[in-house]
Structure 1
Amino acid sequence: MLHHVLVLLASSTGSVAAAIVIATLTVRAALLPLSLRAYRAEKVRARLAPQLTKLREQHAKDPVVLAEQTTALMRAEGSGPLAGILPMLAQAPVVWLLYREFTGDAVRGHTLLGTDLTVKLLDHPAALAGWLIVAALAAIAGWNVRQLPEGSPGFVRALSFGTVAFAAITPVAAGIYLVTSGLWTAVERAVARR
């Protein structure tokens, strides 16, 4: 099914790269309600930070009670500990299907800036499109890190740059997906914070 959608979009736009961008934007738009829920959960966690710290101190030696108390506090505020990762979990099957398309024959022979969409930067270090994708992802990650709330864990900040490394070992087509999705996240986060 996804293959047929990409083919239809590519024939409509005249470009497989544009089809990937449109498919990515469609997926991200469909996940917007989950993303908004995640932003609300982030605000709840920020507001409850002092209470959560107190709970961690009180129940440092009993992780089961800590988890129960944390969950109860979050639920009382209309949120949950997993609300922040729901968009990522919901997007995972689509990403997997797209990746299968990107590594197969469906995009082979189609190019971006003269680089075949199946090429990986690690295997073809002269691929201009690959380097532009890495640079765009680094800029997006830097922007996203600056937008994180104060006190965000270090691993969350580091995860923002995971896509930069990932882009070097994935096909250019996957990089197009990552850049589009990353830009969506940057805009979404900026709007949600207002």
Structure 2
Amino acid sequence: MPSARALRMVLQPHDVVTHLDPAWLSHVFQGVADAAMTSLDATNAAVDATTDAAAKEPGFFDKFVNTVMGAIEGVHSELVSLGVPGAYGLAIILFTAGVKLALLPVTYKQMESAQRMQALAPKAKELKDKYGKNKALLNQLTAKLYEDAEVNPLAGCLPALAQIPIFIALYRSLINLAGNSDFNEPFLWLPSLAGPLYGQARGTDWLFKNWVDGVPALGWHDTIAFLTIPVILILTQSISQRLLTPPSDDPKTAQTQRVLKYLPIMVGYFSLSVPSGLGVYWITNNLISTAISISIKEKFAKQPIVIDVDVDPEDLGYDPSTVAMGFEEMMAEATRNALPSEQPKRDRPTPSSLLKASENVVAEEGGKRDEEAGRVGEEREKAGVEA
């Protein structure tokens, strides 16, 4: 599912770098990089068209989006009643924290599965070194190893699957809320959570177009304030990657990690084309996720997981003498076993000798019958004389 993983990279890059799989990660990163090269205007137009179509034909996901909007607005109303300034921004932060806490058991299970996978790595490598020539056997032994150790290699997909619809719903919710006049309220140093787009400009027009006498369209104060969102996002994700990326001696993994260093810049660029309220969500989610990941990793560092599981080809019904052979070697062995024996062969009778032997047998049988008839005749004559 490349698209799901690609979105997960944008949502939580630090999770990706802690559980690297170079094969699909390189593919995913290439897909995200290609997406970054496309026109953001076209992307936003597609989002708007999708939103308009959804408004005409509301479905289950639209109800989910409305639920997310209702949750954010409900928290906002409570904060307003308490007289808290910047209620919408704080509501986004509290909603994000609530989602992360709700997903904490799933996140813990994911990281526990990753730790168990790391604990099984030496045994998996041992199987590969010993039975690497026999791919079918290696796959069966590896599957049995995971089964006996109660490890699910796909457990890491669960948090991504759980967060992707939430992220999409939150994105659409914030886009919808950006059209609400109340969402224009400032938060901390940000002039407005709806800015810098304000429901009109798309992409990076607010930054690169409509300059007058060297002054950007929004003015220097607001422009610099909104630019702090991508800067903070790049810094927090870079620090998160540095803290959570495990050292690796594998050249492929190291190369992938070097490529991932540019991921925060890409996400920072994406944040230029969305309301700053969504940037607040990204930063909050990144900080909370990093803190949770570090806490769980420290727990496993103090109490490392040890798995003592062994698998044997004989348990799967394989012949121990052939399990280490490759396909070509097994075919050669089967060919050798199928050849005739090299032992000396006895002479086979020819058709003429068979005919002669048959005549001898007939003559011999005839002689036996004559002898038997003569003996019977002699016994009768003897019996008549005695009478």
Matches for 1:23-42 after TM superposition, within 5 Å: 23-42=95-114
Distance in 2, Cα, partners of 1:89 & 1:156: 23
2:240 to 137, 144, 151: 144
- Tell me if structure 1 keeps the 8 A contact 2:195–2:226: no
Q: Which residue of 1 aligns with 2:78?
A: 12
Find the residue that maps to 1:83 and give its secondary structure.
coil
Distance in 2, Cα, partners of 1:118 & 1:23: 20
Distance in 2, Cα, partners of 1:111 & 1:55: 59
> Counterpart amino acid of 1:20?
I
CA RMSD of aligned residues (A): 3.0
User: What is the TM-score of this pair, normalised by structure 2?
Assistant: 0.44
Q: Which residue of 2 aligns with 1:164?
A: 268
Matched, 1:190 2:294: yes
Matches for 1:1-194 after TM superposition, within 5 Å: 1-14=67-80, 15-54=87-126, 58-59=131-132, 62=135, 69-104=141-176, 105-106=179-180, 108-112=183-187, 113-119=190-196, 122-125=204-207, 127-146=223-242, 147-151=244-248, 153=253, 155=256, 158=260, 161=264, 163-194=267-298
Which deviations, in whole Å up to 9, do the C-alpha atoms of 1:34-90 show, x marking residues without a partner?
11011112212222223344556655895x776655444334333222222321210
User: What is the TM-score of this pair, normalised by structure 1?
Assistant: 0.81
Greater CA deviation, 51-60 or 74-83?
Answer: 51-60
> Counterpart amino acid of 1:3?
M
- Tell me if structure 1 keeps the 8 A contact 2:230–2:272: yes
Find the residue that maps to 2:205 and give its secondary structure.
coil
- Tell me if structure 1 keeps the 8 A contact 2:89–2:193: no
> Counterpart amino acid of 2:97?
L
Greater CA deviation, 146-155 or 181-190?
Answer: 146-155
Find the residue that maps to 1:127 and give its secondary structure.
helix
Greater CA deviation, 76-85 or 15-24?
Answer: 76-85
> Counterpart amino acid of 1:30?
A
Size of the aligned set, in residue pairs, is: 193
Greater CA deviation, 45-54 or 33-42?
Answer: 45-54
- Tell me if structure 2 keeps the 8 A contact 1:117–1:173: yes
> Counterpart amino acid of 2:79?
T
> Counterpart amino acid of 2:235?
A
Distance in 2, Cα, partners of 1:70 & 1:127: 55
Cα offset, 1:182, TM superposition? 0.4
Find the residue that maps to 2:90 and give its secondary structure.
helix
- Tell me if structure 2 keeps the 8 A contact 1:71–1:81: no
Cα offset, 1:181, TM superposition? 0.7
Cα offset, 1:16, TM superposition? 1.0
Distance in 2, Cα, partners of 1:109 & 1:136: 21
Structure 1: gaps spanning 5 or more residues: none
Structure 2: gaps spanning 5 or more residues: 1-66, 81-86, 198-202, 208-221, 299-387
> Counterpart amino acid of 1:127?
T
Find the residue that maps to 2:246 and give its secondary structure.
coil
